[in-house]
Each structure stands twice: as structure tokens, then as C-alpha cells.
Structure 1
Amino acid sequence: MEKRYINIIQQVIPFIFKGKNIQIIITTHDPLTLSDIPNNNIVYLYKTTDGKTELLDQISKQRPTKTFGANISDLLADSFFVNDGLIGDFAKEKIEKTIEWINNNIELKSRNRDSFSRELEYHKKVISIIDEPVVKIKLSEMISELEDSNDFQRQILNDEIRFLTEKRDKLQ
């Protein structure tokens, strides 16, 4: 129902209030409803760390920037002030540990020669099972900086190209 709420209101209200100018105020915690409303028509309330509620004006840096027709994940992350991401803690921890490992092994002198190859293969496996393409591609790029070749990054990019090509071909 939430998905059709704004559309129904837009169709029904003119019949009920013919020739009248009215203003409708809707409150929601639902990103589907929010995606039907232009951002400049939205008033954002924000709870501060001390428990007070603030109104975010149009120039506030905390104010979300996208709503109308926006992706639901983006709306949740941006408009609903989800600060800790939109992935599960387990996946987030694995990705963060991979990033930390890459950063700790950028310099040759900081690498543990005995375990580097084994750990590199482990983190490549973690990267290869990530389903978010932007994260996966960026991590493959970072891993490739640790190696003398771009083979892993090329493989990840080729897999993504293959996936997108198959998806495009299904549309034809």
C-alpha cells in the first residue's frame, strides 16, 4: 500500500476539494513513500545526541539530498540517517578486515613473508563473494596494488562485464 499512497492521494484529492488550494502533511518512516516526494517538499527532523529534535533547514549539511525516484537503499542510508551501513555486521566486519589487511600490507617491509600469500588468497576469496559491484571492484583494485599484476582485478571486472552483458541480452 505504501508504494501507491502518494499516487492515490494525487488522484483522489482533486475530486474531493475541487478548485481549492490545500496542503497535505504526511509523516512517514517509509522510504517507498519518501521516494515519491521531491526533496525540497520534505521537512526533516533529526534527533541530536542529547535527545533534542532539530529541524534540518534546506542548507543543513546533515540534510539528505536525494528522495524523488531515489533507490530505496540510498533513501534508507541518507534520508533515514542510517549511520552504520546497509549490510549485515558479519559481512561488514569481513570487508573491514580485508581493507585493514590491505592497508597494513601496502609496504613490502610490513608484510609477514610466511603468511602473506595465504592471507592474500583468503582476502581474494572474501572479495570474490561480495555481491555489491562497487565495493568488489574497488577492493580488487586495492588488492592488485599489493601484487605485481592486475590479474585479480581484471578477473573481477571481466566477471562483472559478463554479468551485465547477460543481463542486457535478456532484455533484448
Structure 2
Amino acid sequence: MSYSVNDTIEILKDKFRNFRFNFKEIEFGGSIPTFFIYPENDKLLEENWIKIADTIAVDFQARLLDEFSAWNIYLFYVIDIPIRKELKYKIENDTFSSRKIIVDNTIDEDSMITEHIINNITVISDEDEIKSNEIEPNTVIESLLKDKILKRVNTTKAASETYKELLTIIKKNKDEV
């Protein structure tokens, strides 16, 4: 059986009548499904946020074929009054199935996406990747380690001596400052 996002929204509306729901799919390094959940009040939010997340996980997420989309689902619980810090912490730190964000001020959905998704995702170009891999070696350390064999498991005599030399240089430089 194939479910569309519209089917999921209809299931949510039928199960949770005191909530409004909206959905947007963002193309940003892949498809990011984003649900907007509007409870009538904070009590309803507290009583139902897990049930809503579970419904989305079962009726929508479990049917996604694209792994990127399945791992990048956002649920925005949008309420126009401030909620208790404990509840916000509990919801936003729940790691099951999706990223959950409480928005307790009235901003539009596109602003929520920009603030919480697009600004948090950094896309690195191939050129940036090459630049970030260029490491400038520390000349002191490089000169001490040049032509020495250091083993991972057992400390060699060369490793011990090099370590002592590094400590001496570090202490000397620290005293100079």
C-alpha cells in the first residue's frame, strides 16, 4: 500500500482534531520532509506530541525509500505562547524518528525553515573540501619526527625520546611567553 504525504496529513487531522497540520518538502542537499504541527494549546501539545511523532514515523517515514529523506525529517511544533522549559527540552531532545523543534513565537513557516534547517546545514563544495584538507605542519614537531618510526602499540625508544624533546621545547616556549 502506498501512502502519500497527503494521506499522512489526513490521518493526522483525523486522529488529532485539535491540531492543524501543514507539510513542506525542502530541496537542500536532498529532499527534507518538514511537518508543521499547530496545537490549540500547550496541554494538548504535552499530551500528544509523542503520538503525533509516532504516527508520522509509522505512516510516513517508514514508507520513504530515500534514506536521506528518512533521516532528515523535521517536526515543528508551533504554538503562539511560551511553553515550559522542561517540556521544550523533553520534546527537542527526543531523538526517535525525527528532529523536533518547538517554535513558541509566531513566525512564518519559511522563516522557521531558514532559521532551523538551512542555517544549520552547511554544504561544502569540492573546492572548499580541498582547501580544508591543506594542513600547515608545525615545523618544530615536523623536524623532531622526521625519519623516526613510531609504533602504535608499543612505545619505541624513538617515540619516548621525541616525546621528551617535545615537552622540553613546549616548556621552553611557555617560559619565553
TM-score range, shorter chain: under 0.3
Choose 1 or 2 for highest CA Rg.
2
Higher strand share: 2
Q: TM-score, normalised by structure 2?
A: 0.25
> Relative contact order (alpha carbons < 8 A, sep ≥ 6): 1 or 2 greater?
2
